[in-house]
Structure 1
Amino acid sequence: MPRSAARERPTTEPPGGDIQVIARVVALLDCLDPDHTTLDTATTARVLGVGRSTAHRYLASLEKGGLLRRTDPTTYELGPVLARLGTLALSRLGVLEAARPIMRELVAEIRNTVVLSVWGGRAPVIAAVVPDTSRITTISVEIGRSLPPDAAQSRVFAAYLPTGRRVTRRRTADPAVQEVDGLLTARHTYEGGGFKTVAVPVLTADGEIVAALAAVGLSFYMPDEQDDALAARLVAASRRITVEH
């Protein structure tokens, strides 16, 4: 797992047990980003400059505290405590409070799960989820999850960041991004074709993007020929959020 030299070693640490532990935990968590979503024993030992047994104890302690979650015997990802704290931080953005009732109405209308993502500094992060429970199969989306570059929400942010205005060049370069009712929207079908996402931006009155609103569901319930109609419903909902924000 490649790392820059600055991230290969922990930050300067003052002497002292508890403070040193905090500095080391921060150094470890700073290694996580959308391209590197897990930590393993070897990486932890290298970043902290400790042996593998000490690295394993750090990871096990972080798992016990809920900061990490083990995915296999030597690999860990963000745990429920960090996801909850991240969501609390994101909830301070007024857009979440304004979006939730509109998201619930939209789920009842389109019968698909609706999610809201905000910019996490390097990638969109899932901040709110309203699942559709009207069908036998329910789509589950994890709050606090960073999205990959090919996700529909990521494509929407790419079309509006960093200036907060429409970027025509990016729109024409990405066939997944199209204009619907004056807003750039994106759609993405995941590998294998089983799942699909259609996303639209949530903009301020000045045209700056503050979030991405998306419908997520089985491709069977989101046929391609209905994409434009679905995107139009999402656009209408996103504009309601903008007005109330």
Structure 2
Amino acid sequence: MAKAEAQVDGEGSGGDIQVIARIAALLDCLDPDSPYLDTQTTAKALGVGRSTAHRYLVSLEKRGLLRRRDATTYELGPVLSRLGTLALSRLGVLEAARPVMHELCREIRNTVVLSVWGGRAPVIARVVPDNSRITTISVEVGRSLPPDAAQSRIFAAYHKLGRGGRSATGGHLRAVDDQELVPVGGLLTASQVYAGGGFKTIAAPILTADGGIVATLAVIGLAVFMPEEDDRTVAEKLVSAVSRIGLN
């Protein structure tokens, strides 16, 4: 009887229900470098034919787990986005940082973002946009950051990296050297200029009482409003803001 029930449920030899294991394997393919799924990728990941892979994608789209991006590719859907936001909202750092982020935004007149570790890369969890200027920078909550982002380099500096740049928490982070990091007030900060010098990010870590990194706080703005000679001052304001975020 147990064997028959297992066959009905599609239970594999390892005790997993096959369809759940396949969906988990499929979603695990998504990362900052490959944020989309198509039939070929799905078929390879699941070890099935293209027609079966297509049915998986269509079914996941119907249930809101995926969303069709164009005729051949899919991205994370509204259900997963909602669950991700719910999971992030349970992190106390988000609420603790809210008032501090608003204060910092008003003080420096640039957008302030908080990122948490998303399993493979830092993920933007909260944004306080600066609306004091005519030109603003739009930052999307839920977006994963690339390895060269200032926030990623801060996580890399505080995570213990093993072989291949794989962090203790399971993601891939490129190794960083001392020249990429600037110590300020006992913390390591990092900066990054993007888009041919169009805008800049400066980031600092948010640490727990025992020194573990729980998030990063960053300032993002047009490079013209963040000249290099002000980097140290901005970094000091970031570190001061981090010190005001109390984590229980």
Q: Give the alignment of 1:13-162 within 5 angstroms.
A: 15-16=8-9, 20-162=18-160
How far the C-alpha of 1:42 sits from its partner, in A, is 0.5
SS at match of 2:179: coil
Partner of 1:232: 236
SS at match of 1:175: helix
| 1:79 to 1:141, Cα distance in 2 relative to 1, 3 A | farther
What TM-score do the two structures reach when normalised by structure 2? 0.81
User: 1:16-42 CA deviation, whole Å, 9 max, x = no partner?
Assistant: 47x654333222112222333221110
Counterpart check, 1:218 vs 2:222: yes
- The AA in structure 2 aligned to 1:184 is L
- The AA in structure 2 aligned to 1:206 is D
- The AA in structure 1 aligned to 2:100 is I
How far the C-alpha of 1:230 sits from its partner, in A, is 0.8
| 1:60 to 1:193, Cα distance in 2 relative to 1, 3 A | farther
What TM-score do the two structures reach when normalised by structure 1? 0.82
Distance in 1, matches of 2:156 and 2:196, equals 24
Partner of 1:167: none
Counterpart check, 1:176 vs 2:214: no
User: 1:79-98 CA deviation, whole Å, 9 max, x = no partner?
Assistant: 33322211211221211110
| 1:125 to 1:211, Cα distance in 2 relative to 1, 3 A | same
Q: Which structure 2 residue ranges, 5 or more long, are not aligned?
A: 1-5, 11-16, 162-174
What's the C-alpha RMSD, in Å, of the aligned pairs? 2.4
Q: Which structure 1 residue ranges, 5 or more long, are not aligned?
A: 1-12, 164-169
User: 1:64-123 CA deviation, whole Å, 9 max, x = no partner?
Assistant: 433223333212222333222112112212111100111111111111111111122322
| 1:48 to 1:177, Cα distance in 2 relative to 1, 3 A | same
- Which structure 1 residue ranges, 4+ long, deviate > 6 Å from structure 2? none
Q: Which moved more, 1:103-112 or 1:59-68?
A: 59-68
Selected match of 1:200 from 195, 198, 204: 204
| 1:64 to 1:91, Cα distance in 2 relative to 1, 3 A | same
- The AA in structure 1 aligned to 2:38 is D
Percent identity among equivalent residues? 71
Distance in 1, matches of 2:222 and 2:142, equals 22
User: 1:183-224 CA deviation, whole Å, 9 max, x = no partner?
Assistant: 100001114222211100011222221110001122222221
Partner of 1:5: none
| 1:22 to 1:205, Cα distance in 2 relative to 1, 3 A | closer
